[in-house]
Amino acid sequence: MRTFISAIALIALASPACAHFQEILPSEDVLPDGGKVTVDLIFTHPMERGPTMDMARPVRVGVAREKGVEDISGSLVEAPVDGKQAWRLERDIAEPGAEVFFVEPKPYWEPAENKYIVHYAKVVVDGYASGEGWDRLVGLPVEIAPLVRPTGLWTGNLFRAVVLKDGQPVPGAEIEVEWVNDGTVTPPNEAFITQVIKADDMGVFSYAMPRAGWWGFAALIDGPETQSPDGKPASTELGALMWVKTTDMGGAR
């Protein structure tokens, strides 16, 4: 009985900390000579390397460039991960400048938390290492505005950004941070899986990234009250996600 109760308590404690992340990860953050980039879209737990959730066909996938926002949903192909639905696209970067890839996923129903999750995620790919246009906003309902160029970052760099909702800063926003684990790190305990930050009064947060690879920043914002699939009251979690890559100074890639 005691084991049973503590198991229940553990599940109750563990579920709020269970951080789903909408990944949108390109094959590279900078394409010095332009060319093809592959972008993978997976709904998962990056630090724990799963479990992966089924990701329905997104409402919209696009790229924000100097010329405006282009819908590239048509180039999505299914690319399942661990038997779960996930997506991939390829794009040719033909001109210098930042291409801000973004996804608006279909709302994901999470019964364990009685809410829909909608993680608007984005990532910047810099064509021809231009250093231009990296602070362009897509104009998503919730969005992270970088205060640091999000490409060509060294391991250990400080990432700073503003959390926006409807274009306005969100004071005190909560941001979850995870590293896309390549299997080389075993977190010592639950507390290390997801790092948590609160934005200041201006909606600004910062985080120093201690390891090479992809880092996901997920600002979580309460969305509208809604109904569960069986018609009961439920809530919506809006996520503003941004992915950035760090590279070791050692010279190895």
CB of 25 to Cu ion, least distance (A): 18
Sole window of 10-18, 32-40, 121-129, 150-158 interacting with Cu ion (rule: CB under 5 A): 10-18
In the bound state with Cu ion, the residue whose beta carbon lies nearer, of 134 and 214, is 214
48 lies in the site for Cu ion, by CB under 5 A:
no
Shortest reach from residue 179's CB to Cu ion, in Å: 16
Closest separation in Å from C-beta 51 to Cu ion: 8
Exposed, middle or buried: residue 49 (CB in 10 Å: 0-12, 13-18, 19+)? middle
**18 or 79: CB nearest Cu ion:** 18
Cβ of residue 19: shortest distance to Cu ion, in angstroms? Answer: 6
HSE (CB half, 13 Å, CA atoms) of 60? 13
CA distance 245 to 37: 15
Binding segment for Cu ion (CB under 5 A), chosen from 18-26, 71-79, 157-165, 215-223, is 18-26
Size of the site for Cu ion (CB under 5 A): 2
Residue number of the CB closest to Cu ion reads 18
Q: How far apart are the first and last CA of the chain?
A: 52
- Which of positions 166-205 make contact with Cu ion (CB under 5 A)? none
Nearer to Cu ion, 19 or 162 (CB): 19
**Least Cβ distance, residue 44 to Cu ion (angstroms):** 9
Task: Give me the least distance between CB of 67 and Cu ion, in Å please.
Answer: 37
> Does residue number 20 form part of the binding site for Cu ion (CB under 5 A)?
yes
Distances (CA, A) of 84 to 24, 200, 205: 16, 37, 33
Structure tokens at 192: 């290390």
Beta carbon nearer to Cu ion, 12 or 202: 12
Near Cu ion by CB under 5 A, which window of 17-25, 98-106, 165-173, 241-249?
A: 17-25
The region of 19-27, 67-75, 135-143, 214-222 touching Cu ion under the rule CB under 5 A is 19-27
Nearer to Cu ion, 12 or 208 (CB): 12
Q: Does 18 help bind Cu ion (rule: CB under 5 A)?
A: yes
CB of 46 to Cu ion, least distance (A): 10
Name the residues that contact Cu ion, by CB under 5 A.
18, 20
